[in-house]
Structure formats: C-alpha cells, structure tokens
Chain A
Amino acid sequence: SQQGEEDPQALSIQEGENATMNCSYKTSINNLQWYRQNSGRGLVHLILIRSNEREKHSGRLRVTLDTSKKSSSLLITASRAADTASYFCATDAVNTGTASKLTFGTGTRLQVTL
C-alpha cells in the first residue's frame, strides 16, 4: 500500500519560478525523505526531515513537515531546466521491532521550461 501520496501528479513551470510539491501520508513516521529521479535513472536523495523537525533547507530546497496533518511540502526556488525530473517522498514509518522500511509515494513529475 502507498504510504505517501504526492500532489500534484504533474507540474509545469518556467525557469526562475518556484515549484511546490506536497506529500501526504497515513501513519506516524520517524522521518520523511525526498528523492529526485531523472528520466531513466536511479533515485537521488535530496533531503531528510525527522519527525521532530518542522523545516529544513538545503541550497534551493526547502522542506516542511506537519506531523499533525501528516503532510510535507518540497519547495524548489528559482527553478532551472536541470530540475526537470520526478520527485518522490518516502516515509520511514514507526514500526517497533523491525528494520526501517521506506515507503515511496507515486511522485510528482516536474517540467521546467526555458
């Protein structure tokens, strides 16, 4: 079953604009991670935010986490054509006694045009 669901499914913006993607999940988590996947490639880790954190920054990326609403958002500022990719959230659910298992959402396809 999918723990995380991204919204929107697809997003098209112009270079220089900001892109915001949202992720909702169902159960309590230890952390939430965002990954990027360029077409035909493996996933690349972008940022990890723990359940006791509310906001985190990395370069042009800003991630927020609202555990009361079970949701997260990824903001990419001043987008570039090279940001064109699919973006996935992945949750590490609280699961006593077993190893961490990430559950991925279905992704947001971001297209950045010149």
Chain B
Amino acid sequence: NAGVTQTPKFQVLKTGQSMTLQCAQDMNHEYMSWYRQDPGMGLRLIHYSVGAGITDQGEVPNGYNVSRSTTEDFPLRLLSAAPSQTSVYFCASSYSWGGNEQYFGPGTRLTVT
C-alpha cells in the first residue's frame, strides 16, 4: 500500500492565484481530513470528510474548498491564494470517523508571495 499520498510536495503561488492540492489514500478509509501546520501553532483542521459526498468544516475553513467524489481522493482547493495561506498542508485518513488513529501524508509546502 502507498498509504496517503500528496502532490505536489512544494508549490509557490502569487497572491490571487488558485490551485488544488491533491490527496489520495489506498486503504479504503472512510475519514479524510486536511490540516495546516504553521510554526508554533501545531496542526489546525481545515476540512474533513466522513465518506464520499460528505464534507464538513474544521477550525480554519475560510479560503479553502473540498469535495469527496470517491473514497480514495480528497482534494483541497485554494480559491484565491493569500500570503496568510503560506503553510505546510497535511492530508490524513483513518478507518472511520470515530476517533481512530490517523495516517498522514508527507505534506505540501506552500508559499504565497
């Protein structure tokens, strides 16, 4: 199993540009989530999904959209990038939405200039 994969690994955007961060898992996990990690802030939940077609907001959802058309994929869209979105983004998945251990991808380091 590849586990949780994320692309790209690095990305530089100009303010106002849009882009999609890709996340895929091959473990047939129900639950997928996106976090951002900023220095000194730990990880903060952006959006999550408990299954195909079902998404919900986390702690810091503004400026981001998600969709879950398949069990495997959970892309994160930045609608109009801002310097405040400079961060490292992690996708994670777990077997179910009931508080189980989460498996993390390697992360995408995004810089917005």
Q: Which residues of A contact B (CB under 8 A)?
A: 1-2, 4, 30-31, 33, 35, 40-45, 48, 88, 90, 92, 98-107
* Closest A residue by C-beta to B51: A99
Contact B97 A99 (CB under 8 A): yes
Contacts A/B (CB < 8 Å), 13 sampled: A4-B42, A30-B99, A40-B107, A42-B104, A42-B105, A44-B104, A45-B102, A90-B43, A99-B98, A100-B98, A101-B33, A101-B58, A103-B59
Residues of A within 8 A of B45 (CB): 101-103
Which of the residues A40, A44, A99 comes within 8 Å of B48, measured between beta carbons? Answer: A99
The CA of A111 and the CA of B13, in the complex, are separated in Å by 34
Interface residue ranges, B against A (CB under 8 Å): 4, 31, 33, 35, 40-45, 48, 50, 56, 58-59, 90, 92, 97-107
Q: Beyond the given A42-B105, A92-B99, A99-B56, could you list 19 further A-B residue pairs with CB under 8 A, ordered by the A residue number?
A: A1-B59, A4-B42, A30-B99, A33-B101, A40-B107, A43-B104, A48-B101, A88-B42, A98-B56, A99-B97, A99-B98, A100-B31, A100-B97, A100-B98, A100-B99, A102-B45, A103-B45, A104-B35, A106-B40
Contact of A2 among B35, B42, B48, B99 (CB under 8 A): B42
Interface centre among A45, A48, A105 (most CB of B within 10 A): A45
Closest residue of chain B to A44, judged by CB?
A: B104
Assess whether B107 is in contact with A102, with CB atoms less than 8 Å apart.
no
